[in-house]
Amino acid sequence: MTSEIKNEPNDDDYGYTYEIYGDLPDGLETFTNFRTLSIEGTARTSGTFTFKVYLYVDPPEYYDEDSEQYEDSLCAYSTSKEFTIIVN
């Protein structure tokens, strides 16, 4: 999956961190490459596996010389989504 920030043409300027909570089948691993989270491998166990992916976003800091303050335009800095994998 590839993450993006809605209405933000410069979302490559942000930092992205993923955390996985829950069960992945034996044989599957997660890998991150910047904005992309991949699940790779061959499952060695059958069953239903539910896990939640948390995404944390670290915005770039913009310095406003007029107000002498750092600004960012994010409303939220994290989100999560639950997934289920069924292996037969």
Burial of 85 (0-12, 13-18, 19+ CB in 10 A): middle
Question: Residue 48 corresponds to which tokens in the numbers above?
Answer: 């239903």
The pLDDT tens digits of the residues spanning 9-66 come to 888 888 999 999 998 999 999 999 999 999 999 999 999 999 999 999 988 777 778 8
CA distance 3 to 34: 9
Chain centre distance of CA 3: 6
pLDDT at 66 (0 to 100): 84
pTM, 2 dp: 0.79
- The pLDDT value given to residue 82: 98
pLDDT band of 67, cuts 50, 70, 90: confident
Report, in angstroms and rounded to the nearest whole number, the Rg of the chain calculated over CA atoms: 17
Structural domain boundaries in the chain? 11-87
Do residues 30 and 38 make contact, with C-beta atoms less than 8 angstroms apart? yes
